[in-house]
Amino acid sequence: MAMFLVSLCLVAVIILYFVNNPLNHSRKFMIRRFVNWFPLGMSYAFLYMGRYNLNVAKNAMGDMMTKEQFGLIFAAGTITYGLSFLLNGPIVDKIGGKKGIIIATLGAAIMNLCMGGATYLYLMGRLKTNMVVLFSILFALNMFFQSYGAVSIIKVKAYWFHVRERGVFGAIFGTLISFGVYFAFDWGQAIVEASKLHPTDTSWFTRTIQHLFAIDTLTTNATWLVFFIPSFLLICWALIDMVLLKDSPKEANFGDFDTADASSGDDENVKITMKLVLKKVFSSPIMYTIALVDFTSGVLRNGIMQWYLVFAHEMKDKDPVYYAGTEFFTKNWGLLLCLTGILGGFLAGMISDRVFQSRRGPPAAINNMVMVILLLVMSFFLLRNPTIVGSVAVLMTLAVIGVHSLMSGTAAADFGGKKMTATASGIVDGCVYLGSGIQSLAIGYLSAKSWQYWPIFLIPFAIAGLILSLRMWNELPEATKKYILKMEQEEAKKQGNAQSAPLADPAT
């Protein structure tokens, strides 16, 4: 059933992509662009699976990896991810998104193999090294390669999508993130269940995993498969990207077009150097605002997505009655995050393009306001009503994916321009994971004292995100303003001509 719903959402996303064509691109162009972004996007989704599988492995390993240890390991990876953009953003601007996504998928595949190997040695009792140190290093390296993924997908998007189309692409970007979360949590959990020595599930997937890897011959659960299987999938998508992906319409035998972002009107002969890119990005006040909004979204997104399952799992021993109320959410966590993330991304993107003339601030402000309210509700009901807490956690994902897809996936490209979009979006996305690293350390520490600190810690970041989003309410790149004004003048001219045209003689 879950797979059917996800597939249905994927079909709906594809249909919406083809329906949304405000620039009246040719059918041939729309199909070629789909062939470009779909494998690129699925590669990014499976990068997520190779990122959040650590969360699934932590719960599978139980007390062998405490939540404080998990917080340290995850923080090491996310902080590395955030700082990596200062290096790989300019690199992707120079080498292009195609090479960038191949580096991301192959690098992450190798690191997942290493983490799987370390898990195998640890569970077999052959690993004497400190687990926190080893996993922190491997996960940090995994996240270093992962960080090439986001900037690569946005780099390619910047050449293929006009500013007036990017709100919807931001929704597609949010959808891909949501698919990745589903793959990580639900597929990852299915792998964990199927890799147990004595599984309770007898589905075809479990039987296949059991026979394929001869798990009944082992002495412990084969938890390492939660790293090995995503690694194999990433290699497959890397090979597909090598064949199908093109960095720009020109490379696919179409003419490049003016995307009306911040690079519009730039001299094509100007040599783009790393110094020029960094100077332009770091001298832009709006880029700072976008980065700070996304910093708060990083705290909020992973503050919920990373810790809800840990919270629910811990309540299993502390309060079995309360835990019973969380079972619907824990069993369907990936699916719920996927569905609400898709809805949140599309609502934010379409509202931005169709209601606010491609301004990204208004829907971001609305979503942050929603999150402030949700967190207040969560604080009050945290240990009282598991259904309300689970519902709030899911709705938080709807709102925060809306913000993240608009900031990292869209606003950074709008204001950075297609020539510098990898650096701009990289810095913005880096702030997401710096925020994620901070919350990982903080909530790992605070929740050990009391879970009541969990939502209280997140509330100030939602308020800060709201204030910052309000500051960029009216912001648009100058080229976009000119484009919108031109379209409005042409529409007014058409209406004027229609009103002044003589009426046809009814007798004729």
Residues whose CB is less than 8 angstroms from the CB of residue 494 and which lie 6 or more positions away in sequence, other chains included? none
Q: Which of 249, 248, 393, 275 is nearest to 325 (CA)?
A: 393
In the block, which residue shows the tokens 């989704």?
Answer: 45
pLDDT at 365: 92
Instruction: Determine which of 28-32, 230-234, 273-277, 494-498 has the lowest per-residue pLDDT on average.
Output: 273-277
3-class DSSP assignment, residue 199: coil
Would you state the structure tokens that stand for residue 457, as one six-digit string?
């810690």
Whole-number average pLDDT of the chain = 81
Left, alpha or beta for 166 (phi > 0: left; psi -120 to 50: alpha)? alpha
Tokens of 212: 């394929």
Over residues 57-83, the mean pLDDT reads: 80
Range 404-413 average pLDDT: 73
pLDDT tens-digit profile of 385-397?
A: 889 989 999 999 8
Asked whether residue 507 carries a pLDDT value surpassing 70, the answer given is no
CA distance 397 to 329: 13
CATH of region 34-246+272-486, choose from 3.30.950.10, 1.20.1250.20, 3.40.50.2000, 1.20.1440.230? 1.20.1250.20
- Burial letters for 284-301: b for 16+ Cβ neighbours within 10 Å, e otherwise? bebbbbbbbbbbbbbbbb
Q: What is the pLDDT confidence band of residue 419, given thresholds at 50, 70 and 90?
A: low
Q: Output the pLDDT for position 170.
A: 66
Burial of 282 (0-12, 13-18, 19+ CB in 10 A): exposed
Rounded Cα gap, residues 153 and 48, in angstroms: 13
Q: Quote the tokens at residue 396.
A: 């938080």
Q: Is the pLDDT of residue 274 over 80?
A: no
Question: Model pTM?
Answer: 0.74
Confidence of residue 279 (pLDDT cuts 50, 70, 90): low
For residue 479, name the pLDDT band (cuts at 50, 70, 90).
low
Return the sign of the alpha-carbon dihedral for residues 171, 173, 174, 180.
positive
156-174 mean pLDDT: 73
pLDDT at position 265? 55
Looking at the chain, the whole-number percentage of residues with pLDDT higher than 90 is: 17
Quote the CA–CA distance of 144 and 438 in Å, as a whole number. Answer: 17
Least-confidence region, from 412-416, 451-455, 461-465: 412-416
Alpha-carbon gap, residue 308 to 303, rounded angstroms: 8
Tokens 């909004």, located at residue: 293
Domain ranges of the chain: 34-246+272-486
